[in-house]
Amino acid sequence: MKKIIFIITLTFILFQGFSQQTDVYHPCLFDETINNKKSLLETEQKIQAAIQKKFTESFNKASSHGIYIIPVVVHIIHDGGTENISEAQVQSQIQILNEDYGKLPGTNGDGNGVDTEVRFCLAKKDPNGNCTNGIVRIKSSLTNHQTYQRGLLKELSFWDNARYLNIYVVKSINGNVAGYSSFPGGPPDEDGVVVRHVYFGNTGTASSSLGRTTSHELGHWFGLYHTFNNGCGIDTCTDGDYVCDTPPQASPSFNCNTLNTCSNDIPDLNDLKENYMNYTPDACKDMFTAGQKQRIQATLDTIRTQIWTTSNLIATGCDSNYIAPTNCLAIADFVTLTPNICVGNSVYFMDRSLNNPFNWQWSFPGGTPSASTSQNPTITYSSTGTYAVKLVVTDSTGSDSLEVAGYITVSQPGIGNSVSYSEDFDLGIYPPSSLTIVNYDGGVTWELDSLASVSGNYSIKINNLINTNYGSSDELVLPYFDLTSSDPDSNVYMSFKWAYAKSDPTFSDELLVLLSTDCGVNFTQVFYRTQTALVTGPTQTTPFIPDSTQWKSAFILLNNYRTSTYVQLKIVNVTDGGNNLYLDNIYVGDNITGITSIQETEFETDFLVYPNPSSGQITIKFPEKQEGNVRITITDISGRVLKNELISVDNTYQKTYSLTNFSNGIYFISVEAKGIRRTQKIIFNN
């Protein structure tokens, strides 16, 4: 979309393997695999070097700065449930942060560590200088958060990260992750910390939490690594977490037992189970070391340099002289993630007004309805043009309004290209004119490849092996298609070949195909592969280059969308720092005739039967070679078994039967492979 800065956030390690295999609580998404998985990339090394330089310079000097105060805004992304936490719960988290980072006497944070001289202040003025309680509430399905959507989360709501620490509270993260954070020096518009509501604070929905998830994640935001990063390492100062006084630690600790997993430190000290940057439970964590404090302050003095300045504290209402009014007045504000739509489509508007108004009066010139009093209305636009949106909010003392001219743009959907479409990249022109590459983070993305190809000279690949921006997505957007141009008597489908290997058995990149029939406003996932289902070659830490046997075929039936004249398809890689993912021979069209009754929208292990109706001879076509034998069963409508045999699928991936003795009527063909049985209906009409 718009990001041009090449970033590295160390923060997003892979969740897929973890959550699928164990489905246990996952404390943090910070890259604990950084050591065995890949070396730090150049940008991250520069950031690390800058922090380290300052760290070394300041190590022997007493801190002359005093307290660093960090203005905080908390964005609560909710779906109307208990994840829409109370202001008291937010304040409990701010209090815990101040106890932990300040080692406040008599609190849980008063352990055997140091006062980092960092404090947190819930912002009292918004970026426009308005009075605020520092909390933004938005009703969005993004509350069920996937880390690759982290850019979208910030499009919902984001305050200048040079001036505010943005914290997002959500319902879930990739299923079962507690929280994650960006690292200093990452892309500004992805900066922030995301925490599940049940771990945010220690009251309300987090009453069984001690609130140290946020203390830990903010450690990353300040540039701290895990105490166990790089295992025992070699030098306790210059590798691992780059902090001398945290003893080396072989692996994360998930309980409060006393351990000593490394003996290469002198003196040989126990692992710091009490350290906030370990994975131990909240109950045994109560300290940052002096070295960690130095590193936090080095980050604040080199990278996050504006946020704690006196002028910024005054601007955000966090200076000690600011006297906040008893009540802040309501401030009207709203957002949509889809301001550009086609005629006939709808827009979901989200209220993000500040300070809890209780009445909403929307105006939507050009929309239907043209006015609404609901907090988060959905409005349909049936004519092309650009339209203003106005919101008036009211609280007990008065009202505020915001009008944005030209906020919504409605265009004609146009007519997509007729099918069929094919792209094999063999002209060597990249990107081909029919494809658009969307590289959200400006980093590693789809590229032409001449070392691997299904047939011909080229394929395209994305190099996940060198991509450390875990969770980021790269899209290959196909042109709009008019699927009404397909043969109504045949199947319309998308197919392509892919090849992939992992670099580590645990982690896997992801491959998705998304489809939109409303000009890209909403997308449906029609294909998804990760882990074993994505792999076509052996796990290797060297770049994967597939041979001719290491390609798989994807078939995606599009019959459900054949009345649409404007279908958009995109193929998406979500990186986990795995290995090369290749694509070739992308096709959208209708030249396999036959079936009418497949329910699934994808069928890697599925099959095609054609022609249908049939006059007697049918062909069962498999999308790929099947391992082992496949059982074929044909039954009539009464359930009588007419054929039942085991076959092996040959290199043509198909099997033809001559069934001319079957009488006219409906039959069912079942294919059973790898324990999965799939059935299709076929009509004989001799």
* Sites of contact with Zn ion (CB under 5 A): 28, 30
**135 contact partners, CB below 8 Å, separation of at least 6:** 73, 74, 75, 76, 87, 90, 122, 354
Cβ closest to Zn ion, residue 28 vs residue 435: 28
Q: Where are the beta strands (DSSP E) in 123-189?
A: 135-139, 144-145, 165-170, 172-173, 179-181
Under a CB-based contact definition with an 8 Å cutoff, are residues 607 and 594 in contact?
no
Cβ closest to Zn ion, residue 196 vs residue 461: 196
Burial of 633 (0-12, 13-18, 19+ CB in 10 A): middle
Cβ closest to Zn ion, residue 30 vs residue 480: 30
Encoded amino acid at 643, one letter: K
Distance of closest approach, residue 27 Cβ to Zn ion, in angstroms: 7
Cβ closest to Zn ion, residue 275 vs residue 612: 275
Cβ closest to Zn ion, residue 31 vs residue 265: 31
Distance between CA atoms of 342 and 516, rounded to whole angstroms? 12
Number of helices (H), then strands (E), in the chain: 8, 38
Distance between CA atoms of 29 and 7, rounded to whole angstroms? 17
Q: How many alpha carbons lie under 13 Å from residue 93 in its C-beta half-sphere?
A: 32
Q: How many CB atoms neighbour CB 75 within 10 A? A: 22
Under a CB-based contact definition with an 8 Å cutoff, are residues 119 and 98 in contact?
yes
Cβ closest to Zn ion, residue 34 vs residue 392: 34
Q: How many alpha carbons lie under 13 Å from residue 618 in its C-beta half-sphere?
A: 28
Distance of closest approach, residue 443 Cβ to Zn ion, in angstroms: 22
Distance of closest approach, residue 212 Cβ to Zn ion, in angstroms: 11
Under a CB-based contact definition with an 8 Å cutoff, are residues 258 and 273 in contact?
yes
Ramachandran region of residue 344, left (φ > 0), alpha (ψ -120 to 50) or beta?
A: left
Q: Give residue number: closest CB to Zn ion.
A: 28
Distance of closest approach, residue 83 Cβ to Zn ion, in angstroms: 22
Q: Which helix (DSSP H) or strand (DSSP E) does residue 438 occupy?
A: strand 436-439
Cβ closest to Zn ion, residue 28 vs residue 170: 28
Cβ closest to Zn ion, residue 28 vs residue 389: 28
Helix (H, G, I), strand (E, B) or coil at 427: coil
Specify whether 217 is catalytic: yes
Q: Which two tokens stand for residue 174?
A: 């990739």
Distance between CA atoms of 357 and 194, rounded to whole angstroms? 25
Distance of closest approach, residue 215 Cβ to Zn ion, in angstroms: 11
Distance between CA atoms of 468 and 604, rounded to whole angstroms? 29
Cβ closest to Zn ion, residue 30 vs residue 498: 30
Distance of closest approach, residue 272 Cβ to Zn ion, in angstroms: 14
212-221 vs 87-102: helix crossing angle, rounded to 10: 60
Closest-CA residue to 90 (of 188, 184, 210, 201): 201
Distance of closest approach, residue 181 Cβ to Zn ion, in angstroms: 7
- Tell me the sheet residues that pair with 474: 439, 573
Distance between CA atoms of 675 and 352, rounded to whole angstroms? 50
Distance of closest approach, residue 104 Cβ to Zn ion, in angstroms: 23
Cβ closest to Zn ion, residue 225 vs residue 349: 225
Distance of closest approach, residue 30 Cβ to Zn ion, in angstroms: 3
**169 contact partners, CB below 8 Å, separation of at least 6:** 74, 75, 76, 77, 78, 83, 85, 90, 195, 196, 197, 200
Distance of closest approach, residue 229 Cβ to Zn ion, in angstroms: 9
Encoded amino acid at 364, one letter: F
Annotated active-site residue in 99, 190, 217, 475? 217
Point out the residues that are catalytic.
217
